[in-house]
Structure 1
Amino acid sequence: MADTPLMKQYKEIKSNFEDSILFFRLGDFYEMFFEDAVKASRELGLTLTSRNKEKNVDIPLAGVPFHSADSYITKLVSKGYKVAICEQTEDPKMAKGIVKREVVKIITPGTVVDVEALDAKSNNYLMSILKIENKLGIAYIDITTGEFKVTEVEKDDDFVKLFNEINKIEPKEVLVTEDFYGEIKEKLDDFLQKNDSVVTFVNKVRDSAKYLMDYFEIVSLESYGIKDKKGIIGAAAMALDYAATMQVEHELTVEKIEFVNISNYAEINAITSRNLELLKNQREKTIYGSLLWVLDECKTSMGTRLLKRFINNPLLNVDKIRKRQEDVQYFIDNILIREDLREKLENIYDLERLLGKIIFGSENGKDLTALKKTIKSAVEIMKILGNTDFFKDIDANILFECYKIIDDSINEDAPFSVREGGIIKSGYNAELDEIRNIMNSGKDFLLDIEQREREATGIRNMKIKFNKVFGYFIEITKANLDMVPEHYIRKQTLSNSERYITPELKKYEDTIINSKAKIEDLEYHLFKEISGKLKEHRKILSELAERLAYIDVMVSFAVSAIENDYAKPEMNEEYSFEIEGGRHPVVEKLIGRTDYVSNDTVFTEKESFVVLTGPNMSGKSTYMKQIALISIMAQIGSFVPAKKANLSIIDKYLTRIGASDDILTGQSTFMVEMSEVSNILNNATEKSLIILDEVGRGTSTTDGVSIATAISMYIHDKIGAKTVFATHYHELTDLENKFAHIVNYRIEVDEKQGKVMFLRNIVKGGADKSYGIEVAKLAGLPKEILVESKKILKRLEQKKELIERTVDVHQLSLFGGNSELENDFQEFENESANDFENTESNQFYTEKLVQVEEEKESLLEIVNKIENYDVNNVTPMDAIKFLFELKQEIKKEN
């Protein structure tokens, strides 16, 4: 059966947007057909119906009202779908045949422009990546703010540097060529899944440099600092072209390209960001309990977004850090200015996104009113800071002009819709005022008609009403129908009344409706004209937004410093790194300043590697993290939780904390641990800070100690980075005596009358006990288990000592007996048997004692083999084979 003209039009349009759900405008609804209808019904909970059932053609159908479509579109996009918006491009009343329709925009996760649907405190980035030889060009754009940045990284093993940037930027949509996707598929898919992001395949833009120069109307890319950077140029063109293609009917908000030189910032990879909980906590993935939570005293969304970028990108330049510190100090010292600013900043709307909507063409009357209020507050802030350089080169006269444009024209209570009138003030436009007068007089005339008809008919409760279907009509109740004049024309019958019109009423209805349509059209035209005038000043408004965001962050740092008793850190370009009375900023805020035990930290060229020992729950991890957090806070310009600090610049923050399997890649805890440590060792420099927590615990104790020792030696000898290595392997404390720059520290423990208290003080020296049973007691384990644990611990320690003595004695007298040692073994067996009255425990330890005896014999056999092996008469290969056999024998015994 042949398609109807409408369905033929639909299929033709849909064929060009196969990868999108097509919202097809039909009157007051967006309709979806076929597979699109099925998907939308499933994802949005819409009723799925059918079209053309009477013709035995079952076409799935689902629809949403056009005025509430944004919320449905947002839901689909958040689930990773693209949505193509197909509008009626001509007035249905004027159409000859089928109404013309075309797709006016495509909304994807990276090109959402409905700012109400976005997180106000986060950017919504679209990212593109292009590989040219061994360089990776990266571009990322937030079309709601106009921010467009580019950078470049070297291609390295496993694309570590690339994914450092991806995890920092957190794009909602990633553009890549299909061939390059194959190289990064596993890691990119992992990121996409964890961040609810999508990947889109695109082609390179032909002559990318020309494309960019044409777009920005410039003759060279040199002014952007990317003239010879082919990867960046290609990636930038890909992102810009894609965004422009998605937003067919709108102008993009992008004004410039900003080149970000990543060598100006310290490196924080995704693992470190997660371990240190910089932007969100590890458990709920929310801001609560993160460094951002502590520092974010910002009053504007722009400020919070900038603060996030600061935390992700600590500065390496000491002068720039000191400039931020000076600005923070200014707001600390000037309390009246600080409090006045905080009050004014509360009245600042999201200027970046307001400006984006104006440039984009999606603004409404309330947006312009918000812009006016923002400009007013901004000018007041400029006056408060008149003696500073915060607003250098910002022309207040232009801001006043923008304010006046809005104040003269836009009603304070302007509606959200720009198509229904009520936006423009009376007195702004003479033609509009004249049409309004006609319409208002027409309304008065309707009231006059109503009064005259009541008197003429005697129907006192007669009313003139209006709806969109019938227009104006006279409603008369059933009780008064016998009084209706003959010239009344019946339009509708209801259960309790009848509706009529008269020739006179119809005439004035036409006048009023025509006037209303003229008013709506003229107001829309005037509104866009006003927006156009504001758009001419977008550069200064964009600069104003940047300055306000920066001031908001600096004031936020000042408030945090005052409320939390932070100190201004000194910054140096040497190796020295000293913190006096340091505290963990998050833990301190959670438990209270008075309950937190502060600690010192010192790194020098002489003592650069700390082996930290102490029981679980004693504060080792908190202490290590606080060192990194204090350093990061210092390098973003914040004051720090310490009595005082003199810190060297850290170029990379590298951490291995915690243990977990990587289910997605099928890697065990130990494999994940070793992969992360490998990344640290391959990327660390002398200027890096390395935090290692219990490395090696994912395997056997022997292997773990060996690996932990080798890692420590490598960092000490080959890298020289500032390092804190927390461990339960007390064997590592021996390294202090063998390596010049390794020093032992421990968590101080107070042990009195069998009770243990963790003092959380960091003192020099290594711990000699793990206090595991005491920790179990604090955790609330049943008393019976604790008693049994102590007995077991005592036996195991005695067993270890006896085996060690067995080996030592045998080395002194290989074939000689030792009656004292044999007596000790017998005493050990007797004590163990008497120690446990419980039958099952007794049986368990009987078995263990047999095992001890067997292990003793096995050790003697192995030592005997080694003693009798003639190393002078074997080849290297024979020796290796012998060692391998011994290793296999030991494994078998264990």
Structure 2
Amino acid sequence: IIAVIEGRGNAQGEVGLACYDLNNSTLELYQFSDCHTYSKLVTKLNILNPAEVIMSNTVCEKEKLSSLIQQISMHCSTLKIVSVNRKYFNDRKGFRIFIFNLLQLRKNANFLFHAAHLYYCLAATNALFKYLEFVRNITFVPSSIKVVYKTNEHSTMMDITTTKNLELIRNANEQKSHLSLFNVLNNVKTQMGSKLLRSNILEPSCDLQTIVERLDMVDELLNNSNMFYKIRNALVYFSNINHILSSMVQKSSVASLKVAESKLTTLINLKNALEAVELLKDAFEDSVSLLFQTFHRLLSHRCYTDMLEAISSVVEDNTHLTKNLFATKVQKGYAIKAEANGLLDISRRTYSEAIEDINQLVVELREKYHLPIKSNYSLHKGFYLKIPVKNMSACSLPNEFLKIMKFKGSFIFTTDQLVGRDFHIVVFILIADNVLAEVMKNISGLYQLAECVGIVDVVASFAFNAIRSDHIRPVFTDTLAVKNSRHPILERMPHCHVISNSIYASEANNFVIISGPNMSGKSTYLSQIAILQIMAQIGSYVPAETASFKLCKQIFSRIGYNNYIGTNSSMLFNEMKEMNYVVQNVNKCSMIIIDELCKGTSLDEGVALFLAFCEHIKNFQSFCFIATHHENVIQLEDYHSNFEK
């Protein structure tokens, strides 16, 4: 969930953004200056992919919608925008909330000093937390939330149009298709890994040290198969580490037995994850890569042993939750050791008798009506009975059966004797509360564990892809030179023969013009260049024989145009608006991919605009790849030494 606020008056264009992930318990803060089209904000919303966006009611008035709302609605039409009173965007109250919830306050004094001047971030934070408290009924354990202030300093910028054109996250033609870069690279085992992979693809790193460290990790996994399989097997136990964190940090303001019982579930899941820490640490034992060695030191910290000992002192060693809800409920009843509380034996005896009564009721009904009746359990319905449908009808069932429904090929129902028989052992819920309070002292170690799991999972996924598809390690120089490269998405298409192509651009030949007949593969070749650049900068191996890349801080692509009726915009207007954005932001660290510019006007005007754009871009040392049919543009090679056809 995201809260967004924009400055007013002279500060208009200054945007503050606070993002809280309900599944990860991390508060991310952003503050930046944006242009009148709010391209940075729209791109950030696309990366974060929020369920709801909280905004001030002053910018959401239907009579005079602000340009901020208009841009968000145009580019992110599926987002749910929630308006709240402007008074909740208060930076002073936001700073107090910040101090109350920030993890390890004493160790973040320097961060607090800088955060005190991020007025728009703090204002958005206050609105976000008030919304969570009063609308979502969520509060937090004091000093438990991980807060991260993020900048774009070491990230490659791509606007939302580029991410759609290159099909980075989803296929442009079929939303349910798996033919996108994310799905091609997604062989992760955990939700943390999936989230990190998605954010890395949409915002690749441009920090050479970070990229090289990841490539070193992939290289080591490829050369050490034993380590690779140990890591992949250990990661399975951390699939829900983010949910464990969020359930520990968040408190529901509505007290109920179901909320309390979920704490026991959290305790059992946390125990299983902490037991697997040793497996993951052993996998890093003889590692050579710097990050693997760092993770080995982190996982060797005493805090994980302390948390496991605290939990093991009250939870049985062989306790594991299953997918069967009824079996899980029984397992919870016997999860706590008997010596943990004197009243536990009495509670368990009552609990066992209730389960036996339900089983006896099922036997009696089965014999009485000669029907294959079975008992079942769900979180919402509690205990209920079911019969396979076959050739039966609801009308033919006995009147003793109540609330009859058809569900998944069975009739489900209850009886007077079964109503209200949903039992909870309150004693073990109180014990779980006490143990979780003890574990919360080392919550920072769990955040480090989650971050370690996410990075390792993504790197292991890259290694898996490199093995399966014969990828090679890229290097970074001042030249873009890739020999016999292949399109990674086309490789996954069934019955598709992929033609390899070489790519070259340098400071001396930084402007490449591509021409050829229709359906010859120009657009595919252009997208392949950008996708390989992204793969290299997220630390992945690439499909080629040899590969050298130049670090890019911006990637622009313009592939395909349409009229947009919502803003009464023609194809040419959209082209010019987007090319203006390129002209205003291009620099020597940019990569520009353009397919058939100026198709929405007459031939003479299109060629003139195309030539003017090329003449301007050539003054920068950015790598530019343009596909065209215009003969006049192709002839630019004869007049400029840095142009190549």
Q: What TM-score does the superposition give when structure 1 sets the normalisation length?
A: 0.57
Q: Residue 628 of structure 1 is aligned with which of 506, 527, 530?
A: 530
1:527 and 2:417 correspond: no
Higher mean Cα deviation, 687-696 or 141-150?
141-150
Q: For 2:333, what is the secondary structure of its paired residue? A: coil
Please tell me whether the aligned partners of residues 237 and 273 of structure 2 are also in contact (alpha carbons under 8 angstroms): yes
Output the CA distance in 1 between the equivalents of 2:174 and 2:111. Answer: 44
1:546 and 2:451 correspond: yes
Q: For 1:579, what is the secondary structure of its paired residue? A: strand
Q: For 1:610, what is the secondary structure of its paired residue? A: strand
1:739 and 2:643 correspond: no
1:173 and 2:52 correspond: yes
Alpha-carbon offset, residue 519 of structure 1: 7.3
Other-structure match for 2:83: 200
Alpha-carbon offset, residue 278 of structure 1: 0.8
Partner letter of residue 647 of structure 1?
F
Output the CA distance in 1 between the equivalents of 2:250 and 2:532. Answer: 41
Other-structure match for 1:259: 149
Alpha-carbon offset, residue 165 of structure 1: 1.6
Other-structure match for 1:770: none
1:427 and 2:338 correspond: yes
Q: Residue 601 of structure 2 is aligned with which of 690, 699, 706?
A: 699
Task: Give the number of the structure with larger relative contact order, counting CA–CA contacts within 8 Å between residues 6 or more apart.
Answer: 2
1:683–1:360 distance in 2 versus 1, CA, 3 Å:
same
Output the CA distance in 2 between the equivalents of 1:353 and 1:397. Answer: 23
Q: For 1:297, what is the secondary structure of its paired residue? A: coil
Alpha-carbon offset, residue 426 of structure 1: 4.8
Q: Residue 588 of structure 1 is aligned with which of 477, 483, 491?
A: 491
Q: What TM-score does the superposition give when structure 2 sets the normalisation length?
A: 0.78
Alpha-carbon offset, residue 375 of structure 1: 2.1
Please tell me whether the aligned partners of residues 349 and 370 of structure 1 are also in contact (alpha carbons under 8 angstroms): no
Partner letter of residue 295 of structure 1?
L
1:233 and 2:122 correspond: yes
Alpha-carbon offset, residue 249 of structure 1: 5.8
Please tell me whether the aligned partners of residues 267 and 432 of structure 2 are also in contact (alpha carbons under 8 angstroms): no
Alpha-carbon offset, residue 202 of structure 1: 3.9
Larger radius of gyration: 1
Alpha-carbon offset, residue 206 of structure 1: 5.1
Output the CA distance in 1 between the equivalents of 2:538 and 2:240. Answer: 23
Alpha-carbon offset, residue 303 of structure 1: 0.8
Partner letter of residue 197 of structure 1?
K
Alpha-carbon offset, residue 650 of structure 1: 0.7
Partner letter of residue 329 of structure 1?
D
Q: For 2:615, what is the secondary structure of its paired residue? A: helix
**Gap runs ≥5 in structure 1:** 1-109, 111-125, 447-493, 497-515, 745-894
1:560–1:393 distance in 2 versus 1, CA, 3 Å:
same
Alpha-carbon offset, residue 348 of structure 1: 2.5
Partner letter of residue 179 of structure 1?
T
Q: Residue 509 of structure 2 is aligned with which of 607, 619, 623?
A: 607
Other-structure match for 1:390: 295
* Structure 1 residues 254-300: Cα deviation after superposition (integer angstroms, max 9, x where no partner): 52321111121010110000011111111223461111111111111
Output the CA distance in 2 between the equivalents of 1:614 and 1:183. Answer: 41
Other-structure match for 2:315: 409
* Structure 1 residues 178-224: Cα deviation after superposition (integer angstroms, max 9, x where no partner): 3345231211222442x342232343225133442244384886325
Output the CA distance in 1 between the equivalents of 2:100 and 2:224. Answer: 48
Output the CA distance in 2 between the equivalents of 1:565 and 1:285. Answer: 28
Output the CA distance in 1 between the equivalents of 2:250 and 2:211. Answer: 36
Report matched runs for 1:102-121 at 5 Å: 110=1
Alpha-carbon offset, residue 129 of structure 1: 3.0
Partner letter of residue 98 of structure 2?
L
Identity among equivalent pairs (%): 22
Q: For 1:547, what is the secondary structure of its paired residue? A: helix
Please tell me whether the aligned partners of residues 432 and 519 of structure 1 are also in contact (alpha carbons under 8 angstroms): no
**Gap runs ≥5 in structure 2:** 61-65, 252-258, 287-292, 358-397, 401-420
1:578 and 2:466 correspond: no
Alpha-carbon offset, residue 441 of structure 1: 11
Q: Residue 376 of structure 1 is aligned with which of 259, 275, 283?
A: 275
1:556 and 2:444 correspond: no
* Structure 1 residues 529-549: Cα deviation after superposition (integer angstroms, max 9, x where no partner): 233333333221121111011
Please tell me whether the aligned partners of residues 333 and 348 of structure 2 are also in contact (alpha carbons under 8 angstroms): no
Q: For 2:7, what is the secondary structure of its paired residue? A: strand
Please tell me whether the aligned partners of residues 244 and 252 of structure 1 are also in contact (alpha carbons under 8 angstroms): no
Q: For 2:548, what is the secondary structure of its paired residue? A: strand
Output the CA distance in 2 between the equivalents of 1:581 and 1:394. Answer: 41
1:432–1:319 distance in 2 versus 1, CA, 3 Å:
same
Partner letter of residue 340 of structure 2?
N
Please tell me whether the aligned partners of residues 696 and 705 of structure 1 are also in contact (alpha carbons under 8 angstroms): yes
Please tell me whether the aligned partners of residues 150 and 259 of structure 1 are also in contact (alpha carbons under 8 angstroms): yes
* Structure 1 residues 702-742: Cα deviation after superposition (integer angstroms, max 9, x where no partner): 2222222221112113x342111101212211111122221
1:585–1:209 distance in 2 versus 1, CA, 3 Å:
same
Q: How many residues align?
A: 550
Alpha-carbon offset, residue 368 of structure 1: 3.1
1:209 and 2:112 correspond: no
Report matched runs for 1:10-49 at 5 Å: none
Please tell me whether the aligned partners of residues 6 and 120 of structure 2 are also in contact (alpha carbons under 8 angstroms): yes
1:688–1:281 distance in 2 versus 1, CA, 3 Å:
same
* Structure 1 residues 66-123: Cα deviation after superposition (integer angstroms, max 9, x where no partner): xxxxxxxxxxxxxxxxxxxxxxxxxxxxxxxxxxxxxxxxxxxx3xxxxxxxxxxxxx
Please tell me whether the aligned partners of residues 268 and 312 of structure 1 are also in contact (alpha carbons under 8 angstroms): yes
Other-structure match for 1:690: 592
* Structure 1 residues 773-796: Cα deviation after superposition (integer angstroms, max 9, x where no partner): xxxxxxxxxxxxxxxxxxxxxxxx
